[in-house]
Amino acid sequence: MRAFGDGGWRLSTGVWPDLADPPTFCSAHGLFRAVYPAISLRLSTRRRAAIARAVRQRHRKDGSGVRGRTLIQDEVPAVKPILKSNKLLNVCYDIRGPVLEHAKRLEEEGHRIIKLNIGNLASFGFDAPDEIIQDMILNLPSSSGYSDSKGVFAARKAIMHYAQQKGVHGVELDDIYIGNGASELIVMALQALLNDGDEVLLPAPDYPLWTAGVSLAGGTPVHYICDEANRWMPDPDDIRRKITPQTRALVVINPNNPTGALYSNELLLELIDIAREHGLVIFADEVYDKIVYDGREHTALGALSEDVLTVTFNSLSKSYRSCGYRAGWMWISGLTGENRRRAKDYFEGLGILASMRLCANVPGQYAIQTALGGYQSINELIAPGGRLFRQRELAYEMLTAIPGVTCVKPEAALYMFPRLDPKLYPIQNDQQFILDLLLEERVLLVQGTGFNWKAPDHFRVVFLPNVDDLADSINRIARFLDGYRKRHAA
């Protein structure tokens, strides 16, 4: 390679056009107008002349003419591809992943897709409570400015009272942060804590945002087993085995997404003991704390972990059917005198990140006080005879009636995580399996590996459609599985 001038233009490989008489183009300007008309105007006269001289010298030296000759490339600086950050190499979110893109294309072609991939309640006719809508409308004229970076005072006050109702004591206003949904706060809390290589213990299966958030923050996700044979309860012994000097935090998703499991107080206390013993921060994802069936009750982990630093996440999205309002919160508890001093630097990190995004959307924040202090209409939906209760019953009965399909009946949340018997369904690639289902039956699900479950033998079902659409979708799943079973069973 030979460089010309101080701008770094270089001889390289390229192909001359079919020129019969090279000397015709012996001037630099003529050469570039003939070969690269768009580029010629972007080079200085000195650079054009230098490159032209080199070409003429090569032509005189070998006398071979210029037809098909190697000439020049990189007359302009090489154009590099614009690549995504390496931080995203291990980040995925298959709830809205590649299969959804296929579903969108099918919809554009006019096909109706039954979407059982995401818990978006509004799309299934679950409306936000009227009083929340009215309060947002009422406060909209005063919502055009930024709020405090941690959130509107009245909303944080309501969250503090809610923490007290849940038995979580010692939470002060400054320990509460409001975000654009719990998702934003999960990512923020992880970024404030983790250095490169730090490890976080996560359930398998998990809600994939947690694994993605750990990776994005530079950490290493380490998954502990939730035992399907034990109603999807976490295995404390497996957690203990996976703790290393790099472990910083333990994530507990209760009620659980995707399994619908609800953890007992005894199990929660054992998890707290592990965190206490190893000095771990607990991240408690409790977004579904009000969606609990069969008379069961949810216990806030922070109510049992008064001496262990616990960050609890919740939102309006599910219990108040307000996914689009993007109103979530986190509170930090377990701040005894020593723990508050110990976490001072972490609080500073959270403050920096909260200030950088200025504030959460203000209209959504104004819905929080009304929601938490108003009529809890979710109780009607989860009670026997309520819509969510009936749809859970129907989905469980129909799925478990399919040969080779078993399922732990969910005690909470909006999902089921059925298992496919590998002897009847020898699936190698469960994403392809879910795509085939979409293409054949127009039903969109999420494969089990999308929730960091290692074996390709599960999928998640959202039981939010009304009973007619839900029955139709599960009948389509059954029809697809029947065909798959006949084609692939051993």
- Asked if residue 71 has pLDDT above 70, the reply is no
178's CB contacts (< 8 A; 6+ apart) are 150, 151, 152, 155, 156, 159, 327, 328, 329, 360, 365, 368
Q: 433: domain CATH number?
A: 3.90.1150.10
Query: CA 171, CA 332: separation in Å to the nearest integer?
Result: 7
Identify the band that residue 3 occupies on the pLDDT scale cut at 50, 70 and 90: very low
In a domain, 68, yes or no: no
Percentage of the chain beyond pLDDT 70 is: 84
Judgement on whether residues 262 and 116 belong to the same structural domain of the protein: no
Q: Please check whether residue 167 is in contact with residue 151, taking contact to mean a CB–CB distance below 8 angstroms.
A: no
Which of 85-89, 336-340, 385-389 ranks highest by mean pLDDT? 385-389
How many Cβ atoms from other residues are within 10 Å of residue 39's Cβ?
Answer: 14
Judgement on whether residues 215 and 338 belong to the same structural domain of the protein: yes
Judgement on whether residues 226 and 292 belong to the same structural domain of the protein: yes
The residue from 377, 407, 436 where one domain ends is: 377
In a domain, 281, yes or no: yes
**Mean pLDDT, residues 425-449:** 97
Q: How many structural domains are present in the chain?
A: 2
In a domain, 52, yes or no: no
pLDDT tens for 129-155 read 999 999 999 999 999 999 999 999 999
Judgement on whether residues 225 and 104 belong to the same structural domain of the protein: no
Judgement on whether residues 177 and 143 belong to the same structural domain of the protein: yes
Q: 275: domain CATH number?
A: 3.40.640.10
pLDDT tens for 90-132 read 888 888 889 999 999 999 999 999 999 999 999 999 999 999 9
Predicted pLDDT at 336: 85
- Asked if residue 380 has pLDDT above 80, the reply is yes
